[in-house]
Amino acid sequence: MATIALLVGGAVLNATAFVGGNYLAKYFSGSDAERIRHDKALEKYQHDMGEWQKEQKLYQDWLNEQYLEKKQADENLQSTDQAFILYSKAHPQAHTLQNKPEFSNYYSPSSTQKQYELLYVGGGMLAAGYAISKYF
């Protein structure tokens, strides 16, 4: 239970740090450049993830077809090895998998963004510490 609470708490802290960091960056620099860069990277990531998922689906379909053909070959031929030899002669093309897209390959926060996130988290910790000491 504690592990789940830590995971959820960490996710909430990361989300608020990014949002708070963006707010501070916008407030101090007057620019939405980081948000725009992040949104563009997110769009590209989502597009590539969709393409990757389509490739995975096609690959799974291909594997299922291969399974059915292997099953048919087992029924029709004496040996599975002989079936694969015949199949490989009939279908020489190789099927390879593409690497799964990772969002970190498309976007990494700028040093300014990281500084504002740290400032936001640090300020939040100080405020929480003050509130706890004041009211408890």
Confidence class of residue 31 from pLDDT cuts 50, 70 and 90?
low
Domain boundaries, the chain: 56-92
pLDDT tens per residue across span 42-73: 899 999 999 999 999 999 999 999 999 888 87
Contacts of 18 (CB under 8 A, 6+ apart): 109, 117
Confidence class of residue 77 from pLDDT cuts 50, 70 and 90?
low
- CA 130 vs CA 4, 83, 118: distances in Å: 27, 74, 18
pLDDT tens per residue across span 85-109: 777 777 766 555 577 888 888 888 8
DSSP structural state of residue 77: S
In single-letter form, the type of residue at position 29 comes to S
The pTM (predicted TM-score) of the whole model is: 0.43
For range 114-118, the mean pLDDT: 87
DSSP string, 78-119: S-HHHHHHHHHHH------PPPPP-GGGT----HHHHHHHHH
